[in-house]
Amino acid sequence: ELKVEQNPLFLSMQEGKNYTIYCNYSTTSDRLYWYRQDPGKSLESLFVLLSNGAVKQEGRLMASLDTKARLSTLHITAAVHDLSATYFCAVEGDSNYQLIWGAGTKLIIKP
């Protein structure tokens, strides 16, 4: 059974600090997705990582993928309050039709 594990599940940090969220998965999939969800809202696509070594950056967020280690990271640089949200990673299942999701990392950034 494909499993996707995120850690930490909860993270409280100060503005201006750097931190990394980790996403481990148990399949050989080479496609990984990061999404953001604000409280009571839907999911917003952040990054699509399609191959080993892929790195994408948008503002203070940078995502990378190591398919050999079955690991993706989401790095936050100089955090600001607006980045407070829950972040999910998702991996394609064996059939490539469904996404298998991590439990999410709730990020709170304090001024």
Task: Summarize as ranges the residues that interact with another protein (CB under 8 A).
Answer: 31, 33, 35, 41-45, 48, 88, 90, 92-93, 95-104
Tokens coding 50: 């399609």
Toward another protein, which CB reaches closer, 19 or 101?
Answer: 101
- d(Cα 47, Cα 24) in Å, to the nearest integer? 16
Toward another protein, which CB reaches closer, 34 or 79?
Answer: 34
Cβ-contact 22, 6 below 8 angstroms:
yes
In whole angstroms, the minimum distance from the beta carbon of 93 to another protein comes to 8
DSSP string, 62-81: EEEEETTTTEEEEEE-S--G
Toward another protein, which CB reaches closer, 21 or 33?
Answer: 33
